[in-house]
Structure 1
Amino acid sequence: MEDEDEGGGEEDCEEQRQRQNQAAPALFLCPISLEIMRDPVIVCTGQTYDRPSIEKWIRDGHRSCPITMLHLHDLTLIPNIIVRQLIEAWCSKEESASAMFAPSPPSPPPPPFLLAHHDFSPQESLDLGRRERVLGLLRRIAKGQDVRQSVATLKSMAKEELCGSSPTPPEAKKVCSCIVEAGGALLMASMLADELIQHGTALHGSPDGFIQHGTALHGAPDGFTARHEDSPCEEIMSLLALLCRGASREVIGAVLSESGALQCVVCHLGSAQIDLASRMSAAVLLKRLLATEEMRVEVGQSTQFFHGLLDLIDSSSSKKGLVKLLHLACSHKPNRSTAVEEGAIQILVNLLLAASSPPSSSSSSGEDRGLETTERALATLEQLCTVEQGRRAVCESTAAVHCAVRLLVGYSRPATEHATGLLLLVCQSGPVQVVQIAMRAGARRQLLLLLQSDCTGRAKKRALELLKLFHAIFFVQGDEHASSDFKNVDLY
């Protein structure tokens, strides 16, 4: 009986450990054992492993990094205190930290022959120096030393690597990858979550003020605007936006979501009392994150996101990236009704009303005239018209119909395509009055010109459908003058 009890206890412990491994963020798992790291250490390639796993790997005679397969020219194992602290904080909520963690033993010195017989190339030496500097800055941030300046330095290093005149070769170790692999993204996320807790009221009556994973992002903490001047949030969000490249985008999105830091980013975007630079940094980060469907779903639950974004579009002079962010958010169809309810239609119509004449052939770029912003605004209006609330709002806006008619011809091929799509959606499902408004604005003449222009096949198909619709409506009403314009057009 005792043996059975002991066996049952071991099975329970194993099941509990498996549940923890499945629930833990991916960055907490050792790439070798696929279990939560009890003693995370960094090898010379910048990867983090659990000490027992990587030591066994080395004892078995391997001299390459299990993930990158790069040569381990230095066998010194550096404790990753940042990841360790974050794992301990996560496990403490699971009431398992005390039994799980043991003191980190010092790393044994590497065998001298490994260093003596390895000649470092200039690029490898430079790479090692960058990695050591990154790890040093992350340690200072974790200890609370010169946090703002250290984050700014990391941002400068990442920006130089991504945007510099002499980019790092693909085979070299990237600064951005090193920051993410060493737990820098987790550290930044935890600092954003702390900022929300310290300078905002607790959400949903949470007794300790923590934002639990999965909490819907509804509303902003009333006290969030009382931030101290040395808050590093702007620098942190700018750094995370730079890190959101390739596979790191999904990693950073998951980290922000699970830590509750995503709420802090949305609060920065939505608070009119926060400085414009911080709000724009939040917008850039969210634009990178919303490239994934999962983030569009989660952020779309927040009315504060749309309210803040639309307010920023209306008040900021730099609208291109903000309109793109709105378009990305509305790519998830359930988000479109929320955007309409928060006033997106009127904001977009205002952009179209302010659109200048189409760029001339002599201009070097259409960007100066807001070409891309106008095209994106039209595309977003077309998106919003795929839901009933959006069509109803456009039908009630004479200005929206007039803008779509004006941009049918002579602006750009994408603008023509989106304008025909927008008009077709509202004229097919809207009241006859919408068709009358479009006709009075010169829609028939514009569509006939469009058919003779060098537009896309889709635009021509939509133009023909609109002309058929106009003809059918006015023919039924017996308006011979209106229908006479269609005699020379092959409608069918």
Structure 2
Amino acid sequence: MKADIERASEAQSEGEAVVRRLAMTVEEIASISDFRNAYRKPLCSLARRIRLLEPMFHELADGRDPIPESAARALAELEKSLTAAKDLLWHGSVGSKIFVVLERDNMMKKFEDVTTQLDQALNGIPFDELDISEEVIEQVELIHAQFKKAKERDEMPDVELYSDLLSLYNKSNDTNLDPSTLSRLAENLQLVTISDLKQESLALHEMVFASGGGDPGENIEKMSMLLKKIKDFVQTQNPEMGTESDVKPFLQDRRPKVPILPDEFRCPISLELMKDPVIVATGQTYERTCIEKWLASGHDTCPKTQQKLSTTFLTTNYVLRSLIEQWCEANGVDPPKCPIQYNNPTLEHSHVAALLHKLSSRNIDDQQSAAGELRLLAKRDAENRIYIAKAGAIPLLVKLLLSTDPRTQEHAVTALLNLSIHDDNKTSIISSGAIPRIVLVLRNGSMEARENAAAALFSLSVVDEYKVTIGASGAIPALISLLSEGTRRGKKDAATALFNLCIYQGNKGKAVRAGVVPLIMGLLKEPSEPMKDEALAILTLLSGHPEGKSALADAQAVPLLIEMIECGSSRNRENAAAGLLNLCDNGEHQFSSLAAAQSCGAMGPLQELAINGTERGKRKAVQLIERMSLFLVQQHEAQALAEASEGPPDGSPAHEQRECATPTQDDDHGEHVGLLAAYHAC
């Protein structure tokens, strides 16, 4: 008995530990940004989807029920897939741009593997065993559907970029180099400064050795020569950028026995290995403690360039810090221990205060530049979001949502979106009266501003009480308008926000009255529509609302849902079954929906789903089969009664016999009620 209790306790502890690690991994993924290589779009999509899983881990951490052992195992598999995704995103952020383009087949294989792992891990989570709200489950299911769909896409990097790099990679000499090709490469790879080139050199070295494929010496030599060609071209175009010749990787002809500390890793002030590298206004990087002492002593210039600093604001150089850690690990050197907190209120306050002063200015250029910089700072990391909000930026940004300058308005709404990622800031944004103004931008702003306004509403609606506030603000018709006429990204932002808002029952009627049902039906009927997953998820939510049922019945949704059950992806099949079950449940359209399902031959696809579908899909299919079976019994009984009421003319023996055996009208009504009671009991 004691041993059983101990095992149960250990299992519970392991479940809690897995949830903590999952939350930490998602937080680490959220801090990875600046995807500037050829895979920016799929990397950004991957990071965004993973961040949307965060509410599930928060609910699990706050839940009262212990996590079952089977669920803990499933969550552990999800942890493995998220760790693999984090590694891929990290390489996409700080890795070599040249290497990832030339190794496109391997990169695409990694994308495919990570997406498959995430799909399988999410598919294996037993939601019915976990203490998670229905709305979070629906959100995770939507994300799962997006991962499943991502497996079917072929997100190849820019073909021209790959072709240009490959042709340059295979040239053995510098003759006949096309300047236009070199110019395109430098611009597309963002290798236009000596700092860019140094960083690329270090990243290139690390990734070539880490790949473990082929001869690293040969790969380094060929890729280094390619980088040198780009560097020589850039310097020819801009002679003032510097004459450093240390772009060539610091390791040559395999690894040296004694590691040589690269100059890039030394602080220009102390000449020691940097523990906490930070960037000053001139773009130079220093050890934080050294530059702070320099500034505290009264200097207002950059120690290396002697240029006057426009601001004393310091930005953590995450890329260089990561490269230092990788170099230490690769060369058996203990990595430097840097402090956990990275803030200096004295230095940060002056910069943020100056930006807030510009926000309050009547000069449109000042407002635009300050809002744009706050937008980028809020995007960079969580610490900035906290500090900017505490400094009082939110009310000023809300005010600028009414700006007549489109660019300023766009910066302001995007800055609020980035600030809203931090949960505590959501309350401040709402209390500042932002919702009506965000909705105004959603209606009348530029397309990018409208898209970011939709994303901001989604972020704020994560809090249940704000779903009500946003729904009452008139946001839903504006989101439906964006879903109809926006870009592909805009439609996705609108669909995600609508889905989240319609989790609240009161918003479903608003969406139906605003005309969302014909729109999503149109999206579902398009064979190659990329928004099918999102549209079906919204439809499933609306099918549980009385007005939604009526609108879907009028739109003849039943045949479409049966088609999705028969031919859709596994996630779409279960969502279609859930929607059909809602339509066939209690309500005025119950019997017409069942009749439509029968006439469309639903029983076969449902039986197949009950055998081979997901767990949720199987449950929905079994419930539908039971309802349809009872409906068929009712039809049979009604047909028998109808036949019994017809027969030979009055007075014939057969008629007399039937009259004796046929129940009275009251008896018939009682039998019908009994059938209904049996139906509803299911």
* 1:163-202 equivalence runs, <5 A: 174-192=383-401, 195=402
CA distance 1:123–1:417, change in 2 (3 Å): closer
Verify: 1:264 aligned to 2:437, yes or no. yes
- 2 CA distance for matches of 1:291 and 1:249? 13
Q: Which stretches in structure 1 are left out of the alignment for 5+ residues?
A: 1-72, 77-119, 163-169, 196-226, 357-368, 481-491
SS in 1 for 2:595: helix
Structure 1 length as normaliser, TM-score?
0.55
Q: Hey, which bits of structure 1, 4+ residues long, moved more than 6 A?
A: 120-123
Summarize deviations over 1:83-104 as a string: whole Å, max 9, x none: xxxxxxxxxxxxxxxxxxxxxx
- 2 CA distance for matches of 1:377 and 1:124? 43
8 A contact 1:382–1:422 mirrored in 2: yes
Alignment-derived partner of residue 468 in structure 2: 297
Verify: 1:421 aligned to 2:639, yes or no. no
8 A contact 1:240–1:252 mirrored in 2: no
- 1 CA distance for matches of 2:555 and 2:637? 26
AA in 2 matched with 1:137: L
Of Structure 1 and Structure 2, the greater helix share is in: 2
8 A contact 1:249–1:289 mirrored in 2: no
* Aligned residues with identical type, % of pairs: 23
Match of 1:282 among 440, 453, 476: 453
8 A contact 2:606–2:625 mirrored in 1: yes
8 A contact 2:565–2:606 mirrored in 1: yes
CA distance 1:478–1:243, change in 2 (3 Å): same
* 1:51-70 equivalence runs, <5 A: none
Summarize deviations over 1:427-462 as a string: whole Å, max 9, x none: 233243322322333311211211221x23232122
Summarize deviations over 1:318-352 as a string: whole Å, max 9, x none: 22221110011111111111111111111221221
- 2 CA distance for matches of 1:424 and 1:247? 36
AA in 2 matched with 1:140: K
- 2 CA distance for matches of 1:432 and 1:412? 28
AA in 2 matched with 1:147: Q
AA in 1 matched with 2:357: R
Q: Which stretches in structure 2 are left out of the alignment for 5+ residues?
A: 1-291, 297-337, 639-681
CA distance 1:133–1:422, change in 2 (3 Å): same
Match of 2:480 among 293, 306, 310: 310
Match of 1:244 among 417, 420, 424: 420
- 2 CA distance for matches of 1:435 and 1:121? 64
Larger Cα-atom Rg: 2
Summarize deviations over 1:121-175 as a string: whole Å, max 9, x none: 899688865543222211222233411111112212332x24xxxxxxx8xxx22
- 2 CA distance for matches of 1:390 and 1:292? 24
For residue 355 of structure 1, report the CA deviation from its aligned partner: 4.8
8 A contact 1:186–1:255 mirrored in 2: no
Verify: 1:253 aligned to 2:429, yes or no. yes
Summarize deviations over 1:25-51 as a string: whole Å, max 9, x none: xxxxxxxxxxxxxxxxxxxxxxxxxxx
- 2 CA distance for matches of 1:190 and 1:279? 17
Alignment-derived partner of residue 370 in structure 2: 150
- 1 CA distance for matches of 2:552 and 2:494? 21
Alignment-derived partner of residue 568 in structure 2: 411
Structure 2 length as normaliser, TM-score?
0.41
For residue 269 of structure 1, report the CA deviation from its aligned partner: 1.5
8 A contact 2:610–2:619 mirrored in 1: no
* 1:51-450 equivalence runs, <5 A: 129-145=347-363, 146-159=366-379, 161-162=380-381, 174-192=383-401, 195=402, 228-229=404-405, 232-256=408-432, 260-271=433-444, 274-302=445-473, 304-318=474-488, 319-356=491-528, 370=530, 373-398=531-556, 400-429=557-586, 430-450=589-609
For residue 245 of structure 1, report the CA deviation from its aligned partner: 2.1
AA in 2 matched with 1:266: V
- 2 CA distance for matches of 1:267 and 1:305? 9
CA distance 1:311–1:130, change in 2 (3 Å): same
Please provide the CA RMSD for this pair.
Answer: 3.2
- 1 CA distance for matches of 2:616 and 2:406? 53
8 A contact 1:253–1:295 mirrored in 2: no
- 2 CA distance for matches of 1:467 and 1:123? 58
AA in 2 matched with 1:268: V
Higher RCO (Cα < 8 Å, 6 or more apart): 1
